[in-house]
Structure 1
Amino acid sequence: MNPVRVMIVEDSAVVRQLLAHIVSRDPRLALAAALDSAEAALAELERVRPDVISMDIRLPGMDGLEATRRIMAERPTPIVVIADAVEERGLRISMNALRAGALTVVEKPLGPSREGWEGVAEAICTQLYIMSQVPVIRRRPSALAVPRPAPALPGATRPSLVGIAASTGGPPALARVLGALPSDFAVPVLVVQHMGAPFMEGFAAWLDGLVGPRVGIARDRELPRPGHVYVAPGDRHLGVTGGGLMQVSEAPPVGGQRPAADVLFSSMARFLGPRGMGILLTGMGEDGARGLATLHGAGGLTLAEDETTAVVYGMPAAAARLGGVSALLPLDLIGPRLLRAVGAEPS
């Protein structure tokens, strides 16, 4: 199998050289180009034809967000955003780049002398390799706006808690679903999103600026409140307890994931039964499938994103194969179905 061709877009000569070194030493990858601006990347895109792009966000001239938009419009290519996890403006741009079509965000390397260097380098290479396999295409507008109503589902118990999980493609999908909810949404929402731990605070803050309910990081032993969305902290599981509190834990990864959607949905099945509602959105792999099936078996309403809108149909497909999905819905119908489940009709 031929190695994955990587285009690096990074204005810092030091970081560009570092990324080139990281890519060149991984046998799964091949360095196709290393460029210092978005303009240069766009000019070389058709000639180089990379399999995946490593995209800096803070670039001179055109920034990484606009570059992502242009690439996804002109020659859709998997994009991995390389960002500084502590730089607030850069984090906002990174999250908006995900909304514009980038697939994931990983931490910018700081050099071999820094603690955790090998882990960061491995994470970059692994994400570049994995994301190169994701088929990114221009979707026709009509494919995302199918004017059919959500199917009627059997009368279910009104949920007292909603759990939502996503992986690749998740941030924009979550923004769409949560964006359909009013600020006084009557039920608390718990969210598991697969993303590097350093980015979770910025991700929650970004979501908070986009949707009606308040969004923040979940805290252990806190009582979830209506009108609030609680995001699992980086590298921590999120679940619920028998007393209705949130449980944040350092238990071992489940299926290679921490946080794991299976942990959230399984705890909801155990302690809430038919009063729990689970939603599984776009994502690679099978995390959440077993937990959602368990919640479905306990009487909870379970929804999953349909293949027509999912960036990666892996997680929803796995849940559907296990018979754990009450309904598969295109993304734009999930928010309205959620509103109906709690007795609030879409406006």
Structure 2
Amino acid sequence: MPRRTTPARVMIVEDSAVVRRLLTHIVAGDPRLTVAAAVASAEEAIAAIPSVRPDVISMDIRLPGIDGLEATRRIMADHPTPIVVISASIDRGELGNSMDALRAGALSVVEKPVGLADAAYVQVAAEIRTQLAIMSEVAVVRRRMREPALSPPVMPPRTRAPRVLLVAASTGGPPALARLFAALPADFPLPILLVQHMGAGFMQGFANWLGSVVPQQVELARHGDLPRPGTIHVAPGDSHLTIGRAGTMTVSTDPPVGGQRPSATRLIESGATALDGAALAIVLTGMGDDGGAGVQTLLAAGGSAVAEDATTAVVYGMPAAAQRAGALSLPLGMIGPHVRRIVERRA
């Protein structure tokens, strides 16, 4: 896909005049972006989209009248446009709605800026600019194509029976994860370790939300704990998650790998080094190539790996890297059944 040669047109939807001005200032400070419109309500945004034709929308969740969640649903149904949700990470109710907005079609969630004097302002502003610029390049559609009918894949005989499921996702991850885990039973016999790229302040709320929409137990991983079958252990914010030879989880703040902490590559590599390849890795939608090197290491150790196919991935970056490393490529709807077959064969 050719990269944009003109600044991306941003529509800001925010009811607070103070925050709206702050977001306008943040967007105006990036040559990749330009403010096409700044409105105070979802109703104004929905009415203006046909004439403004934004490349990306900055969406507040807590709005008067139609809230950001319902606005996301309507926009994705009638005028599909990349949406970045701006959320107060400490507000549990708002974060839950933000996660639901991702299921409705929004692409990512970033932290709402507090003010120019806030200690985290520079970091938060940079993340907002980066997400808006990157998401403006994502092609979204009203209705995804029907997933192709493929023959059920067979696990190669040389792969080791997995003792743990290692899952990684980034942009577009929450709804994909919800669908994947919903296809697995509540009493899934393997522990699940998960890396989801998301701001550190969102991770507890993300774990709470995921636990409310999937049949398994969900919790933030704790250093030194044994992972439990049927439980999804989520990497805490800004921390690597790996599994050790004793079978316990390690949570660390070692340097980022490829710019990522938590790192999908670190997680998946640990399945090769600590479990001698007795792991199954799944790499879902996401930007960049995190996880690809880990998949290569895991496969060399006799493990197995699956990458989400381009027909269903919101962003085909991480899955493409995993597929190039040797992972089996499957549409999202086929990954859960494939995992069940592998586990049943193991039993």
Q: The TM-score by the shorter chain falls in which range?
A: over 0.9
Q: Once the 2 structures are TM-superposed, how far is the Cα of residue 146 of structure 1 from its aligned partner?
A: 3.5
Q: Does 1:151 align with 2:153?
A: yes
Task: State the match for 1:10 in structure 2.
Answer: 14
Q: 1:221-278: per-residue Cα shift (whole Å, max 9, x none)?
A: 1100111000000000000111111011000110011001000011111111331110
Q: Once the 2 structures are TM-superposed, how far is the Cα of residue 149 of structure 1 from its aligned partner?
A: 3.8
Q: What's the C-alpha RMSD, in Å, of the aligned pairs?
A: 1.3
Task: State the match for 2:209 in structure 1.
Answer: 206
Paired residues, what number? 341
Contact 1:179/1:211 (<8 A) preserved: yes
Q: 1:284-317: per-residue Cα shift (whole Å, max 9, x none)?
A: 1100001011101111111110111011111111
Structure 1 residue matching 2:213: 3-state secondary structure = coil
Q: How does 1:101-120 map to 2 (within 5 A)?
A: 101-120=105-124
Contact 2:271/2:277 (<8 A) preserved: no
Gaps of 5+ in 2: none
* TM-score relative to the length of structure 1: 0.96
Alpha-carbon distance in structure 2 between the residues aligned to 1:44 and 1:106: 24
Q: Does 1:42 align with 2:43?
A: no
Q: Once the 2 structures are TM-superposed, how far is the Cα of residue 113 of structure 1 from its aligned partner?
A: 1.3
Q: Does 1:176 align with 2:163?
A: no
Partner letter of residue 214 of structure 2? V
* TM-score relative to the length of structure 2: 0.96
Task: State the match for 2:337 in structure 1.
Answer: 336
Structure 2 residue matching 1:343: 3-state secondary structure = helix
Structure 2 residue matching 1:209: 3-state secondary structure = helix
Structure 1 residue matching 2:222: 3-state secondary structure = coil
Gaps of 5+ in 1: none
Q: Once the 2 structures are TM-superposed, how far is the Cα of residue 344 of structure 1 from its aligned partner?
A: 7.6
Partner letter of residue 330 of structure 1? P
Alpha-carbon distance in structure 2 between the residues aligned to 1:104 and 1:213: 24
Q: 1:155-210: per-residue Cα shift (whole Å, max 9, x none)?
A: 34321101000111111011111111222110000000011111011111011011
Q: Does 1:19 align with 2:23?
A: yes
Alpha-carbon distance in structure 2 between the residues aligned to 1:213 and 1:149: 28
Q: How does 1:127-276 map to 2 (within 5 A)?
A: 127-140=131-144, 143-155=145-157, 156-276=159-279
Match among 58, 62, 83 for residue 58 of structure 1: 62
Q: Once the 2 structures are TM-superposed, how far is the Cα of residue 42 of structure 1 from its aligned partner?
A: 0.4
Q: Once the 2 structures are TM-superposed, how far is the Cα of residue 89 of structure 1 from its aligned partner?
A: 1.0
Partner letter of residue 243 of structure 2? V
Contact 2:147/2:312 (<8 A) preserved: no
Q: Once the 2 structures are TM-superposed, how far is the Cα of residue 120 of structure 1 from its aligned partner?
A: 0.8
Contact 1:150/1:329 (<8 A) preserved: no
Q: How does 1:244-323 map to 2 (within 5 A)?
A: 244-322=247-325
Contact 2:155/2:342 (<8 A) preserved: no
Q: 1:312-338: per-residue Cα shift (whole Å, max 9, x none)?
A: 11111112223x21x211101111111
Alpha-carbon distance in structure 2 between the residues aligned to 1:39 and 1:99: 21
Q: Once the 2 structures are TM-superposed, how far is the Cα of residue 33 of structure 1 from its aligned partner?
A: 0.3
Structure 2 residue matching 1:342: 3-state secondary structure = helix
Task: State the match for 2:32 in structure 1.
Answer: 28
Q: Once the 2 structures are TM-superposed, how far is the Cα of residue 145 of structure 1 from its aligned partner?
A: 4.1
Alpha-carbon distance in structure 1 between the residues aligned to 2:72 and 2:186: 31
Alpha-carbon distance in structure 2 between the residues aligned to 1:336 and 1:210: 18
Q: In percent, how many aligned pairs have the same letter?
A: 58
Q: Once the 2 structures are TM-superposed, how far is the Cα of residue 41 of structure 1 from its aligned partner?
A: 0.2
Partner letter of residue 153 of structure 1? M
Q: Does 1:80 align with 2:84?
A: yes
Structure 1 segments of 4 or more deviating over 2 A?
Answer: 143-150, 155-158
Contact 2:9/2:33 (<8 A) preserved: yes
Contact 1:303/1:328 (<8 A) preserved: yes
